[in-house]
Amino acid sequence: MKIEILVSAKEALNKDFKGKNVVVIDVLRATTVMITALKNGAEKIYPFKEIKEAIEKKEELKDGLLAGERKGLKIEGFDFGNSPLEFTEKKIKGKVICMTTSNGTRAIENSQSGDNIYIASYINVSSVVEKVLKNEKDLIIVCAGTEDEFSLDDSLCAGIIANKILEKRSVLMDDFTISLQNLAKYSKNIKEVLKDSKHYSYLKKIGYESDLDYCLTLDCCDIVPEYKNKEIKGEY
Ligand code: MLT
pLDDT of residue 83: 98
> In angstroms, what is the span from residue 86 Cα to ligand 1's centroid?
14
Long-range contacts of 185-193 (CB under 8 A, 24+ apart): 185/159, 187/156, 190/122, 190/156, 190/216, 190/218, 191/216, 193/152, 193/156
Q: Are 2 and 138 spatial neighbours (Cβ–Cβ below 8 Å)?
A: yes
Give burial (CB, 10 Å; 0-12/13-18/19+) of 54: buried
CATH of domain 2-228: 3.90.1560.10
> In angstroms, what is the span from residue 198 Cα to ligand 1's centroid?
12
pLDDT of residue 236: 79
Give burial (CB, 10 Å; 0-12/13-18/19+) of 90: exposed
pLDDT of residue 203: 98
Asked if residue 82 has its Cβ within 6 Å of ligand 1, the reply is yes
Segments in the chain below pLDDT 50: none
pLDDT of residue 224: 98
> In angstroms, what is the span from residue 168 Cα to ligand 1's centroid?
32
Per-residue pLDDT tens for 149-207?
999 999 999 999 999 999 999 999 999 999 999 999 999 999 999 999 999 999 999 99
SS3 130: helix
Residue 211 Cα distances to 12, 83, 86, 223, angstroms: 27, 6, 10, 19
Q: Tell which atom from ligand 1 comes closest to the C-alpha of 105.
A: 2
| CA–CA separation, 2 and 235 (whole Å) | 24
> In angstroms, what is the span from residue 167 Cα to ligand 1's centroid?
30
Q: Tell which atom from ligand 1 comes closest to the C-alpha of 202.
A: 8
Measured CA angle at 112 (ends 115, 181), to 5 deg:
70
Q: Tell which atom from ligand 1 comes closest to the C-alpha of 28.
A: 8
